[in-house]
Each structure stands twice: as C-alpha cells, then as structure tokens.
Structure 1
Amino acid sequence: MSVIQKAIRWMHTTVEAPRLTRFSLQAPKSVEVEFGDGRKFNLSAEFLRIHSPAADGKMRSIGGEKVIFGRRHVGIMSAEPVGNYGVRIVFDDLHKTGIYPWNYFYHLGINKFRLMRDYIKTLKKHGLSRDPTRRK
C-alpha cells in the first residue's frame, strides 16, 4: 500500500484533529500550521507535494507502489481556501488538484519524520532520487 493510499485511509478513519488556529504560507518553501493543542508544524513544499491527497499523473507505479520522485526543489506558488475545511495548494510543477483538509495537515505534522523516512527508504528501494532528473 502506497504512502498516499495510507494517508487517504487515515483521513477516512481518523478522529477529529484539534482546531486549526493558524495557517501561514511561506511561499515558495513551506506552509506553517498551528493547532488548538499548541502544536505547530512547518511542512516543506517537497513534503506536501509528495504527500498530496490527489492522484497524480507524474507518479511512477513500481511493483504496484505509487512513487513520486524528483521533487526536492518543488515550490509552492499559492494556496487557495476550499470552503472552511482546507486549502488547495498550487505547486510550481503545475500540480494543483490536491485539497489538503486541516486534519490532514495535523496528520502530516505529527507523523512528519516517520513519513519522510519511509519516503526516502521507498526511493532507495526503487533506485530513485529526491532530485529532479536532468534533461538531456
């Protein structure tokens, strides 16, 4: 099961996260979110991009596992509110279909180091890199 599939399953089975108290776009590098329980998370553009809750045509399917790679230097162009439950992030690689609910930011924040470690392990397992591929 891919990281994205796990995240989607988590979003559908989790209890409510604490109330979001602050959202700050630090374009192009990161998003900072703060919650009612006092937790504050700084989430990089790369981290948010590889954990986008949307299906993405720029993923490689390897052995049934969906892997996004080469996004180390991706940037955030904008963040657009979606109702009162989340935000659509537009990245400079033109990915813009992911809607990030507030509780998903909380999930990403509290699991940030494990998720990033697992992502790097997956890349290594498949011989892929966080760096973009060079054009010939």
Structure 2
Amino acid sequence: MKNLLILGLALTLAGCGGYHKAKRDSGGSAPRSLSGPIAITPNASTTVYSAPASKPFATGPLQQACIASDRKARSSELCGCIQAVANRTLSSSQQARAVGFYRDPHSAQEVRTSKRSTDEQFWNTYASYAETAKRTCS
C-alpha cells in the first residue's frame, strides 16, 4: 500500500510539469527556492496531497520487551516507535525500570501509588513518556 501511494505521488508530481512549466508560466523566470514553509492556496486547478508522516523507529530494551509481551496490539512498528520515544524522553536506567512493567504490570501500579519521592519523580517522567508515545505512535 505504501509503495502504491509513493508511486501515485511520483506520477502526480511528474505530470504537473515541474520546473519547465513554472518557468514557461511565469514569463521566463523559474520560481526561487524559499527557505521557510510554503503556503499553498488551493484553487480549481490545484490539488494538494499530504504524504502520511512516518513514525519513528528504534531498537532497544523497551522495543524488545514490547515484542516479547503477550499484548494483542504489539507489532514491530508500534514497539519500535515506543522505543524511539523512550530514547528521547527516558534515561537508560529509566528504560530498564520501565521494561519491568512488561513482565510485571502490577509493579507499575505499585510505583504509581508509592509515596517515595524517587518513585513519584520516576512516575511523573514515565507518565509524560507514555502520553508522548501514545500521541506519536497511535
């Protein structure tokens, strides 16, 4: 499906005329490159396509624990995305601690309800990571 989408996008872009059409239509000078975002105002002759954003992917301890888990929703893509988010938001020791949640989900509940300041600090960081992973990987 992804290859079909890329092929369709390439054919669409090839059919628009590109540089030479822009040069011809603008009276001889090609449009200059812009360094910022380009705003496109659609009109009757303009079709705007949006390619799907690819999700980040990484391998590591959380990715491996996710793949090894018995959760129905696990997939290589999802587990790799979860690891990529963890690499940006959790230290290696925090990742190692979070791996334990896959083996023993009840331990996450114990950490969440703990009154120890180190557990509270870890849980706040972990909850932020989980929310970011949910937004990024869903």
TM band (smaller chain): under 0.3
User: Larger C-alpha radius of gyration, 1 or 2?
Assistant: 2
More helix by percentage: 2
Higher relative contact order (CA 8 A, sep 6+): 1
More strand by percentage: 1
TM-score, normalised by the number of residues in structure 1: 0.23
TM-score, normalised by the number of residues in structure 2: 0.22
